[in-house]
Amino acid sequence: MKFEVSRTALLKACQLVAPAVAARSTKPALGCIKITADAASGKLILTATDNEIGIRHTIPVVEVSRGGSALVLPSKIIPILRESDGDTVRVDGDENGTTIRTGGGRFKLPGGNPDELPDVPDIDSDANTVSVQPTALKLAIGRVAPAADKTEATTRWAVTGILLERIDKAVRLVATDTRRMAYQDVPVSDCGNNATWSANTLVPTKTMAMLARDIDDCEGKSVAISVGKNEVAFATAFTVIRSKLVEGRFPPYRDIVPKKPKVTLEVPVSEFLSRVRQAAIMTDDETRRVDLKFEAGKLTLESQGGADNGSGQVAMDLPDYGGYVVEIAFNPQYLIDMLRAVDSEPTLKLEMTSGDQPAVFRVGDEYLHLIMPLTG
């Protein structure tokens, strides 16, 4: 292959597909990005996979003088492109190696057999495929991902991913680490209203993070989602992502949402976030706890550090609240994660029952975030 392309476009494409490269593998090709130049269409196709997640990204406008494919190491090509100057780069490569010419440099990368890296096929267009708007999907990923489990600890439930669920004419994204749970509904924009998905369509968080990064380049076009028996696929304007599903059962998340809260109030997002951050200053790794007291017209937040770390108290006005006195405690980081995820909203609804029952935060009917309180 031989082509000339925008340096920033190639850099961005390499950075997008690199997370799918295998960190460790007995097959060297899985540790590489495959670059394919198509002389007929003038397109450049970048592919990476670790056999769990695969991604294929297309750069649509490239000056191709010779078609073909080559393997490149992301640990080499990304810093070369990032640190070089000039608007374009020239690339000449095959299985014996790849030469990259930049504005002021020439770099020779080792080769490999590109046929050893599996292709990432197109998404299936069938009854189990739906389309959603990219901005709504990215918003949903950002709002629920903080609640996903990041420890990969062994539990009876599979919680290290994001659940995709069909809800009427929407796709619901759900995540939990068993101490908090969040969901956001994304309207289906067209087709697939009869799609039937497995009740356990659990997608790795890494896959959803890759999808969120790619959505910025969707150019307003919808995102197609196709769910198979053991795999999910996403297609955007220039990218296809395929991923194996997380094995195991997702917990019955609806069962933990209180049905009849005793207290409901509107909370200003920005001010609440500021107060929680202030109170959290006086906590430490052993005392990750902020105590909240809701009373008529006022919220008080108190924190207590270790023996040598002192304490803190902050307050905010709740002029429209005149209900029950409720005292409840949370890990402040859970509140901060949730509030940062909805910081574009002026207010959110808070529902509580008592200090030993979960609190529920809502934005409209489409977003819910539940946090378990700290007791004792």
Within a domain: 124: no
Tell me the pLDDT band of 151, cut-offs 50, 70 and 90: confident
Give me the percent of the chain exceeding a pLDDT of 70: 96
Question: Residue 194: what pLDDT?
Answer: 60
**Statement: residue 67 has pLDDT above 80:** yes
Residues 157-192 have pLDDT tens digits of 888 899 999 888 899 999 999 999 999 999 997 655
Q: Are residues 235 and 262 in the same domain?
A: no
The residue among 253, 284, 312 that closes a domain is: 253
Looking at the fold, whether 158 and 50 belong to one and the same domain comes out as: no
| Placement of tokens 């909203």 in the chain | 345
| Residues 363 and 273 reside in one and the same domain | yes
- Domain membership flag for residue 376: no
DSSP assigned state of 57: E
Asked whether residue 232 carries a pLDDT value surpassing 90, the answer given is yes
Whether residues 18 and 94 share a domain: the answer is: yes
Residue-level pLDDT at 66: 97
Closest CA to 346 of 247, 261, 252, 272: 272
- Same domain? 314 vs 249: no
Identify whether residues 282 and 303 lie together within a single domain: yes
pLDDT over 60 at 236, yes or no: yes
| 122 in a structural domain | no
Q: Tell me the pTM.
A: 0.92
Total domain count, the chain: 3
Between 207 and 195, the more confident residue is: 207
pLDDT single digits (tens) 92-141: 999 999 999 998 899 999 999 999 999 999 987 776 789 999 999 999 99
**Is residue 123 domain-resident?**
no
* Helix (H/G/I), strand (E/B), else coil: 118: coil
Higher pLDDT: 114 or 286? It is 114
In the predicted structure, residue 237 carries a pLDDT above the cut 80: yes
Shared domain for 144 and 241, answered yes or no, is yes
Residues 245 and 299 in one domain: no
pLDDT band at 153 (very low <50, low <70, confident <90, very high): low
* Contact criterion met (CB below 8 Å) for 174 and 183: yes
Q: Which range marks the domain in which residue 293 is found? A: 258-371
- Does residue 75 lie within any of the structural domains? yes
Are 146 and 105 in a shared domain? no
DSSP 245: P
Q: Which of 253, 276, 310 is the last residue of a domain?
A: 253
Average pLDDT over residues 227-249: 92
Structural domain contains residue 222: yes
Same domain, 235 and 285: no
Looking at 253, 279, 307, which one is the last position of a domain?
Answer: 253
In a domain, 326, yes or no: yes
267 and 249 within one domain: no
pLDDT higher than threshold 60 for residue 193:
no
CATH number assigned to the domain comprising residue 84:
3.10.150.10
Same domain, 278 and 300: yes
CB atoms within 10 A of CB 36: 18
Residue 121 domain flag: no
Residue 127 CA, chain-centre distance (Å), reads 26
Q: Which residue has the higher pLDDT, 316 or 230?
A: 316
